[in-house]
Amino acid sequence: MPTTTTESRVRTGVLAAVSYVAFFLASLVLPGLLGHNRGASIVTPYSTNSEVAAYLAATSHGGLPIAAFCQAVSGLALLVFAGWSAAYLHRLGREAHAALARSAGTAAAVFLLLSASIQWILSLPGITDNLAVYRAVTDLSFSTGAAVQIATTGLLTAAVSTGARGLPKWLAWFGLGVAALSVLSMLSLLAKGFSPFLPIGRYLGMAWFLGLAVFLPRRAGRYPANR
């Protein structure tokens, strides 16, 4: 029974980690595959009004509900992972790590869900008629789903990397590096020059999630079934 319980817990963590990555990537890829983006580059708070207007003229907003839905599911998966990782770290007696994983992971998931909800608003009729309104909503969606979301996800990564047992040392150190780069993405709120930290922190973080999903089942026997 303990082994079965442990394996079930590990499967939950693996599924949550993989779903978080898969659905977020789907939110980026599917609109392009369906022809809604038409190859246009995304706009950011640092884009000029003319760049935003050109983006609106070149794209169709039919894919936004799909992107928002996939991103919302990704946020829910991250929320599940946050709860799972906090419970796991608690069973190991890593109370401080568990608290950080729960708080940072929950915050990251909420920011992602909020960004998805705001992104859905962009698909409503008439929202593109007023450039100023469209910019405000777009910037809000970007800001909630970018720097603060990436930084809080990085803190979740740090909590698991430093508190977990049985993980390969390279994966733990990789997680700490990802956490540092993710926190540095907050600098993008100060200047455009720090924007490269956003994709670096996000996608390296996703690589860490997938690495964790691979090694969790291999270390299942080392996890305590109950505490």
8 A C-beta contact, residue 223 and residue 1: no
Q: Tell me: the pLDDT tens digits for 177-223?
A: 999 999 999 999 999 999 999 999 999 999 999 999 998 776 654 54
Please check the confidence at residue 24 and state whether its pLDDT lies above 60.
yes
The answer as to whether 32 is a domain residue is yes
Mean pLDDT of the chain: 88
The answer as to whether 72 is a domain residue is yes
Provide the domain limits for residue 17. 2-222
The answer as to whether 227 is a domain residue is no
Q: Tell me: the pLDDT tens digits for 60-100?
A: 666 678 999 999 999 999 999 999 999 999 998 999 999 99
Burial per residue of 102-137, b for 16 or more beta-carbon CB atoms within 10 angstroms, e otherwise? bbbbbbbbbbbbbbbebbbebbeeeebeeeeebbeb
**Number of domains forming the structure of the chain:** 1
Residue 58's pLDDT band (cuts 50, 70, 90): confident
The answer as to whether 119 is a domain residue is yes
Q: In terms of Cα–Cα distance, which of 125, 15, 106, 21 is closest to 65?
A: 125
The answer as to whether 27 is a domain residue is yes
To the question of pTM greater than 0.85 for the whole model, the response is yes
